[in-house]
Structure 1
């Protein structure tokens, strides 16, 4: 987390108008990491579910990494609220849009 905090600090110094987004995989403990991201003064934390991504990862990573974004979002929300950090950061999620056909 200290290295991430330093990177966020450096990015904000390089471009004070930039909004810093940090993307995290939805897994057990993501809330704790999101709290650290919030304390490091990032603007947005993005919780990425197991079905999201660009497709640039190896197939095994796409199929077997992470959990549903809903679980990561719930854990992140609870952790941020319990630590009084929820108003310091925007929380977003990503994932796939699928048809009902």
Structure 2
């Protein structure tokens, strides 16, 4: 387990914010779920660690993500466009 002082963490966060980073590209989804898991145990909740393990949270989040949400994303539109341009390949046939 890593250990950072709050001041050091805040300094690192401020540095990242001041750089020209796209905030949506700072971490991947798996990392974000790990952070959520920790937060549910310590910062914004008091859940037992076994109840909110990252892999379990990922399953719950996938189950909660409806097809309609996906169809509203840029990724969905790009997949459909790619399929139209590449007729021999299918990625999301049931969606597009």
- Do Structure 1 and Structure 2 share a fold, with TM-score over 0.5? no
Higher relative contact order (CA 8 A, sep 6+): 1
Which has the larger strand fraction?
A: 1
- The structure that has the greater radius of gyration is 2
Larger proportion of helix: 2
The interval holding the TM-score normalised by the smaller chain is under 0.3
Q: What TM-score does the superposition give when structure 2 sets the normalisation length?
A: 0.27
